[in-house]
Amino acid sequence: MNIFKPKNDSNTRNGPKQSISSTLLLILVPITVLSIVFIILFLSGQAESQIKELSISILQSESDYNAERFGARIINVVARAESFAKSAELADFPDRKAYQDFMNASNKMGDLDNKGIYTGFSDGEMYYADYTEVPEGYDPRSRDWYNDALNNNYETFTGTAPYVDALANKLCVSFIRKITLKDGSYGACGVDIFLDEIASETAALTPMGTGMTAVVADGMILGNPDTSVNGMAVAESGNDLLQEAVSTVTPGHHTAIKYGKDTYYVAASEVPNTNWILYSTVSEASVLSSLRAFQKICYIIMVIIIVIIVVALLVVISTVITVPLRKVTVAAEKISVGDFDVSLPTESKNEIGQLAVAFSKTTEQLQNYQGYIDEISEALSDISQGELNVKLERNYVGQFRKLKDNMDNLISQLHGVIGSIMDSSKLVAGGANQISAGAQGLAQGATEQASSIEELSAEINQINDATIRMAENAKVVEQQIHSAEEQINTSNDQMIDLRKAMEDITDKSQRISSIIKTIDDIAFQTNILALNAAVEAARAGAAGKGFAVVADEVRNLAGKSSTAALDTSNLITETIAAVQNGDKLTEQTASYLKSTQESTEKAVDLIAEITQATEHQQQSLNDVKQGIDQISSVVQTNAATAEESAAASQELTRQAGILNSEVNKFKL
């Protein structure tokens, strides 16, 4: 017999709906992919942030460098002009022609387009270093550059706002200063630097390889990649990006400006020795173009890595997990249908190898269990046929050891039980006859008990009526006692109020006594003052007689006041004594009332207990009456039952015979 074989093999599963490799891949692949994607995106974001910061820093550095370079070229020209001007102020010139010849050396100085130094004197004369002929009627004293230099007392060359030179039709900037020669003549000299080279170099500048540069002075564009706007105001140029840069970025600073769909980095630098500002811009897209290309490569590599990892996971999971588990599954399916002849790979040292070892041990143990179950089945079959002389011979282990012990105990107990049943069946047959005789006597006694119970019930009813009347009287007494208690409580409260009033009278009397004492003191002092006044009046002689009479009257009044105060004090003292005596009587009365109240409360409690006991007694009598009724019913039932018992005992005798014949079928 193989109890491990399923009754219906069609109910067993043909295979898992989803393999463990698929489950592991569904778990590991998303985690791996998300981890790699997160790392790539994080590193890409960090790289982008660093590149942005580095790029805008590089842009600022290039802007500062170009501004310094432009400034150095301007300073080169201005420094040479300053050297000529100072030398001219220290030199002796016989005439203005000698001065002009000296200045001729400044023509084309430096590497920026200029015509050298020109000078306008206070007498209206004008001289150019390149001997340019002065137009007829030209008076330098009417020019802004001349007046600015003298009015501001420029001791060194100072730049003016850019402008378009009328003669050369070129954008230029002038540097002017005051000059005083040794002969006492003075005026203003200047040098015009044409900005063609600055503009062309500005247009050619490409910060970071793809950017643009613009030079602005006082809102005018000096240099720009779009040379058509050179010399125009920034606001009129139509260059929104440049307008935004000029309005938001200050020299030495940089920022990012959103322009259309693109973002531009802008850095501003001040050109030394001028009021010019150089703006360098570069688009974020061009800065990050190499990063974007690198990101694309990273994404491709990421996809390749993910594919490699997925393939590696498939191979590892299939080799290490899926194949060994499939073998274990096949073995488990064989075991589930009762086939214990299985072999499992136990070479692996991981959990799957441990599982295979456990399955092998389980198979061996199941084979032993099959033998245990077969032997127990045979023993149960013998017991079912009445054969109790059976014994389990195999060596049972584990839980089956308990089962064997239980089977041995069962067989032993069956021996005892069946033997006892045989003995009892004989006794039952004899006892049934005795029960039949006893049942008849019981029926007769039950009839007599019913008659006695009816008489007892009538007496209980009379006692119950008397108890009800006593309970009602107790309730009336309780109500009267409660009324007396309330009156005593009221008297006690009034006595407390009376005692408080007596205490108030005593307190007020003591205050009046204090006031009387004060009056007596005042009378005493008045008497002393009257005596002093009489003495003074006697000293005064005839002039003090009238005052002496008044003093004598005052003394008499003081004596009467003292006497009246003393009498009043005595009366108050007697009043206080009487009040204190009344207070003692009141306190005694209150004490008696309190004792009466306590006695009344105890009487109320006793009456309540009597009432409660009476009600309890009434309830007990009701219970007794109900019990008598039940006993009467039971006695009548017993009479009927006794008759039925007589008939049942006869049937019991018959069944005892049947039981005895059945028990004899067992072999002990």
Report whether pLDDT(113) > 90. no
**Beta-carbon contacts of residue 508 (< 8 Å; ≥ 6 apart):** none
Alpha-carbon gap, residue 72 to 279, rounded angstroms: 17
Query: Does the pLDDT of residue 13 top 60, yes or no?
Result: no
Instruction: Tell me the three-class secondary structure of 577-606, residue by residue.
Output: HHHHHHHHHHHHHHHHHHHHHHHHHHHHHH
Q: Is 171 exposed, middle or buried (0-12, 13-18, 19+ CB in 10 A)?
A: buried
Q: Quick one: pLDDT at residue 89?
A: 92
Query: Which residues, 6 or more positions from 242, have their beta carbon under 8 angstroms from its beta carbon?
Result: 214, 216, 221, 224, 234, 279
Q: E strands of 218-309, at which residues?
A: 220-223, 254-259, 262-270, 276-283
Please choose, from the candidates 487, 109, 59, the residue with its C-alpha nearest in 3D space to the C-alpha of residue 280.
59
- Does 324 score more than 90 pLDDT? no
pLDDT digits (tens, 9 = 90+) for 595-653: 777 777 787 787 778 778 777 877 877 887 787 777 777 767 776 776 777 677 667 76
Task: Specify whether the CB–CB gap between 342 and 335 falls below 8 A.
Answer: yes
In the beta sheet, which residues pair with residue 11? none
pLDDT digit string, tens, across residues 61-70: 999 999 999 8
State yes or no: pLDDT of 122 exceeds 90.
yes
**CA distance readout (Å), 445 to 330, 432, 440, 638, 639:** 81, 20, 9, 9, 8
pLDDT of residue 665: 66
> Which pLDDT does position 47 carry in this prediction?
72
Using only the alpha carbons of the chain, give its radius of gyration: 68
User: What is the C-alpha separation between 56 and 254, in angstroms, rounded?
Assistant: 7
Is pLDDT at 313 greater than 60 in this prediction?
yes
Q: Strands, DSSP E only, in 405-479?
A: none
- Count of alpha carbons within 13 angstroms of residue 161, beta-carbon side: 10
Distance CA 266, CA 277 (A): 12
Integer CA distances (angstroms), 215 to 225, 260, 278, 332, 465, in order: 10, 23, 4, 86, 128
**Sequence spans of domains, the chain:** 91-189, 402-663
Q: What is the pLDDT of residues 590-611, one digit of tens each?
A: 787 677 777 777 877 877 787 7
**Encoded amino acid at 467, one letter:** T
CB 488 within 8 A of CB 600: yes
Q: How far apart are CA 239 and CA 246, in angstroms?
A: 11
Q: pLDDT at position 606, please?
A: 78
Q: Please, which contacts does 473-476 make with residues 24 or more away whose CB atoms are closer than 8 Å?
A: 474/607, 474/610, 474/611, 474/614, 475/611
Fold of 91-189: Beta-Lactamase (3.30.450)
Class of domain 402-663: mainly alpha
Q: Does 565 score more than 90 pLDDT?
A: no
DSSP count for the chain of H helices, then E strands: 11, 11
What is the C-alpha separation between 638 and 438, in angstroms, rounded? Answer: 12
> What pLDDT score does 520 carry?
75
Count of beta carbons in the 10 Å neighbourhood of residue 140: 23
- Bin 616: left if φ > 0, else alpha if -120 < ψ < 50, else beta: alpha
Residue 55, C-beta contacts closer than 8 angstroms, at least 6 positions apart: 208, 265, 282, 287
H or E stretch covering 114: strand 114-121
pLDDT, tens digit, 9 for 90 and up, residues 230-239: 888 988 888 8
- Work out whether the CA dihedral 314, 315, 318, 321 comes out positive or negative: negative
> Quick one: residue 12, left, alpha or beta (phi over 0 = left, psi -120 to 50 = alpha)?
beta
Q: What does DSSP assign to residue 628?
A: H
C-alpha 471/C-alpha 520 separation (Å) is: 73
**What confidence score (pLDDT) does residue 599 get?**
74
d(CA 350, CA 618): 85
- E-strand ranges in 471-572 read none
Distance (Å, whole) CA 286 – CA 55: 11
Residue 12 — pLDDT band, cuts 50, 70, 90? very low
pLDDT of residue 472: 76
DSSP per residue, 132-150: PPPPTT--GGGSHHHHHHH
Query: What is the spatial distance between Cα 580 and Cα 507, in angstroms, rounded to a whole number?
Result: 11
Instruction: Identify residue 324 by its one-letter amino acid code.
Output: P
